[in-house]
Amino acid sequence: MACLKAKFIGHSENYILQESASEFREMFYNAAAPPANSPKTILEVYHFRTASAAKMNDLVNALKNTGAPVKRVAVKIQGGC
């Protein structure tokens, strides 16, 4: 999406991702846990990717039904004077 926006505003030589979309999904959604004795930077990258994948899933689920029409539900009004 960011690459398309960059092309739209005239930056046709922008390369946002060096990897393809499938490699991106593999890096974030199927991230392999590093060994416990890994350096701190590798552990931070792993935790960043897993947290980002969870947030991306939440966004996808939230935006999944934005184009769908709203279902009407008949509600019986109760109460009165």
Where in the chain are the domains?
18-63
Which of the four pLDDT bands, split at 50, 70 and 90, describes residue 60? confident
Task: Please give the radius of gyration of the chain, using alpha carbons only, rounded to the nearest integer.
Answer: 22
Please compute the mean of the pLDDT values over residues 56-74 and round it to a whole number. Answer: 81
Q: What is the pLDDT of residues 9-41, one digit of tens each?
A: 665 555 555 667 777 788 888 888 999 899 999
- The alpha carbon of residue 6 and the mean position of all alpha carbons in its chain are separated, in whole angstroms, by 19
3-state secondary structure 10-55: CCCCCCCCCCCHHHHHHHHHCCCCCCCCCCHHHHHHHHHHHHHHHH
How does the average pLDDT of the chain come out, rounded? 78
The two three-digit tokens of residue 6, written as one number:
């960059």
